[in-house]
């Protein structure tokens, strides 16, 4: 039995009372106000303004005045981060896509309520019409436990220490990961830096290369005519064909959803030629929006994964070309005539092996430091959830209440 368990057994052996957050005796809920970029620019100052983003603790700027002064809880009401909760102290303002909770009950610690809402609020987010929301009327209905202040204080003290520990550890692991990524970039640049005099290997004359255009060595493929709306309607989790669109957008569809002639089954590089210029390497069945194109190889002298690494390494070249257009885009002519260095197939394969190994260590969430960061966060969430599980006192017996064994 933990110290918290002993306190609960002593101070509230029959469980704790639960009340709705919107109960006037518990808290007052309200929203922020609209603040334009122009307003932020014209009223610069020292007081933070918080909005719906999660980066930078939600801060989008500082102004010369403030709307709130004290200890509060804010949450994101709209968008992808809806239901994200923040603990706030001091003088600040919030925008209209934030809600704010002012705890009125003297028997409740705002930070205790904050910790509880970090595990509860997201469960009440509505994703209707594709725009996630957690509005004030829904937040007000969330039931929160009211254990004795001594228990709240102890839980907050434990979670504060644990939060600091996890934050510090995550920062250290992230710093280590950043260093590894820099190391990866260094070796990638060395491996893929070729002299124009046909010698390769980071200015060391290690091996000979031939310079050839993509149009000479690869086979260009066409996509399918499909709209963003159709992709959304056709998408089925686990379907065998992936349709690529701009950025990270894709749809998984079944055979028959698009013409068979538009489905590719070969190893390929998809050229994302509009918006965010990028290259995607793929080895399963796929297609893509018809303003893009793909490259495959039928040559025994070409390792397509090597070509992908080289294009990815030189992505800035194509982004620069695209930047000259009102809508960033490149043409197939820009890639068809682009020359790349081709060492022997053995050398290509060796470069691919080294870069893939580095890439896995740096980015694969199943191994290495990213996995360690993920595990530490899960460990923190587990202990937080355990600390914030209470038995209800009589009146609230719904399924959201977890009872403790006798």
- Number of folded domains that form the chain: 3
Lowest mean pLDDT among 170-184, 211-225, 258-272: 170-184
- Please give the pLDDT value at position 344: 93
Q: Render pLDDT for 65-94 as a digit per residue (tens, 0 to 9).
A: 999 999 999 999 988 889 999 999 999 999
Residue 139 has pLDDT above 50, yes or no: yes
Q: Are residues 36 and 139 in the same domain?
A: yes
**Whether residue 333 is found in the same domain as residue 349:** no
Residues 122 and 264 in one domain: no
SS3 at position 71: strand
Query: The domain containing residue 29 runs over which residues?
Result: 17-146
Residue 347 lies in a domain: yes
Q: Are residues 180 and 217 in the same domain?
A: no
Q: Report the Cα 47 to chain-centroid distance in Å.
A: 28
The torsion angles phi and psi of 229, rounded to 5 degrees, stand at -65, -45
Element (H, E) at 29: strand 27-31
Rounded Cα distance, 178 and 174, in Å: 6
Q: In degrees, to the nearest 5, what angle opens at C-alpha 41 toward C-alphas 35 and 43?
A: 75
**Is 62 within the bounds of a domain?**
yes
For 292, phi and psi rounded to 5 degrees? Answer: -95, 180
pLDDT of residue 233: 94
400 pLDDT above the threshold of 60: no
Q: Are residues 236 and 140 in the same domain?
A: no
Domain match, 71 and 218 both: no
**Does residue 158 fall inside a structural domain?**
no
Kind and range of the H or E run holding 231: helix 228-234
- Is 374 found in the same domain as 313? no
* 403 falls within a domain: no
Inter-residue long-range contacts of 308-315, CB under 8 Å, 24+ positions, other chains counted: 308/269, 308/279, 308/281, 309/188, 309/192, 309/351, 309/352, 309/355, 310/192, 310/340, 310/341, 311/269, 311/279, 311/340, 312/279, 313/188, 313/189, 313/192, 315/277, 315/278, 315/279
pLDDT tens by residue, 298-355: 999 999 999 999 999 999 999 999 987 778 999 999 999 999 999 999 999 999 999 9
How confident is the model over 346-358, as pLDDT tens digits?
A: 999 999 999 998 8
**Residue 121 belongs to a domain:** yes
Give the domain-ending residue among 339, 356, 372: 339
Partnered with residue 33 across adjacent β-strands are: 95
CA gap 15, 6 in Å, rounded: 13
User: Is 205 found in the same domain as 351?
Assistant: yes
In a domain, 100, yes or no: yes
Residues 333 and 245 in one domain: yes
The pLDDT value given to residue 397: 33
| Mean pLDDT taken over the chain | 87
25, pLDDT greater than 90: yes
Mean pLDDT of 105-119: 94
Structure tokens at 164: 């600091």
Q: What CATH number has the domain bearing residue 87?
A: 3.90.220.20
pLDDT in tens, 233-257: 999 999 999 999 988 899 999 999 9
- Same-domain status, 203 and 350: yes
Q: Is residue 97 part of a domain?
A: yes
In a domain, 111, yes or no: yes
Q: b/e string for 39-50 if b means 16 or more Cβ within 10 A?
A: ebeeeeeebbbb
- Please give the torsion angle defined by the CA atoms of residues 361, 362, 367 and 370, in that order, rounded to the nearest 10 degrees: 160
**Rounded to an integer, what is the distance from CA 37 to the centroid of its chain?**
25
Statement: residue 402 has pLDDT above 60 = no
């Amino acid at each position: 039995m933990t110290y918290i368990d002993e306190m609960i057994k002593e101070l509230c052996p029959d469980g704790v009372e639960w009340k709705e957050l919107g109960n006037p005796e518990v808290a007052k809920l309200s929203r922020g106000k609209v603040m334009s970029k122009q307003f932020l620019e014209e009223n610069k100052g020292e007081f933070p303004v918080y909005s719906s983003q999660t980066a930078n603790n939600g801060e989008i700027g500082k102004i010369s005045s403030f709307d709130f002064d004290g200890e509060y809880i804010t949450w994101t009401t709209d968008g992808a981060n809806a239901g994200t909760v923040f603990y706030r102290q001091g003088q600040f303002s919030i925008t209209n896509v934030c809600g704010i909770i002012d705890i009125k009950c003297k028997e409740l610690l705002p930070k205790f309520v904050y910790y509880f809402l970090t595990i509860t609020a997201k469960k009440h987010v509505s994703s209707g019409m594709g725009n996630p929301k957690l509005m004030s009327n829904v937040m007000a209905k969330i039931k929160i436990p009211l254990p004795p202040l001594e228990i709240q204080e102890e839980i907050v003290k434990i979670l504060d220490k644990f939060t600091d520990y996890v934050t510090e550890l995550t920062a250290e692991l992230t710093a280590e990961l950043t260093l590894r990524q820099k190391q990866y970039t260094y070796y990638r640049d060395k491996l893929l830096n070729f002299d124009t005099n046909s010698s390769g290997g980071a200015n060391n004359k290690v091996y000979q290369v031939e310079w050839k255009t993509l149009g000479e060595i690869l086979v260009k493929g066409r996509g399918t005519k499909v709209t963003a709306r159709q992709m959304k309607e056709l998408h089925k989790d686990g379907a065998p064909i992936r349709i690529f669109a701009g950025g990270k957008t894709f749809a998984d569809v079944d055979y028959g959803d698009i013409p068979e002639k538009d489905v590719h089954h070969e190893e390929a590089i998809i050229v994302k030629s509009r918006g965010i210029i990028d290259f995607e390497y793929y080895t399963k069945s796929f297609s893509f929006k018809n303003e893009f194109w793909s490259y495959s190889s039928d040559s025994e002298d070409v390792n397509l994964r090597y070509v992908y690494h080289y294009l990815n390494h030189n992505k800035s070249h194509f982004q620069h070309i695209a930047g000259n257009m009102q809508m960033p885009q490149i043409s197939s002519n820009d890639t068809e005539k682009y020359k790349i260095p081709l060492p022997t197939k053995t050398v290509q394969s060796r470069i691919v092996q080294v870069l893939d190994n580095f890439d896995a260590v740096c980015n694969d969430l199943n191994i290495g430091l990213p996995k360690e960061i993920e595990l530490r966060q899960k460990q923190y969430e587990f202990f937080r959830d355990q600390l914030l599980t209470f038995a209800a006192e009589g009146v609230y017996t719904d399924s959201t209440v977890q009872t403790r064994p006798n």
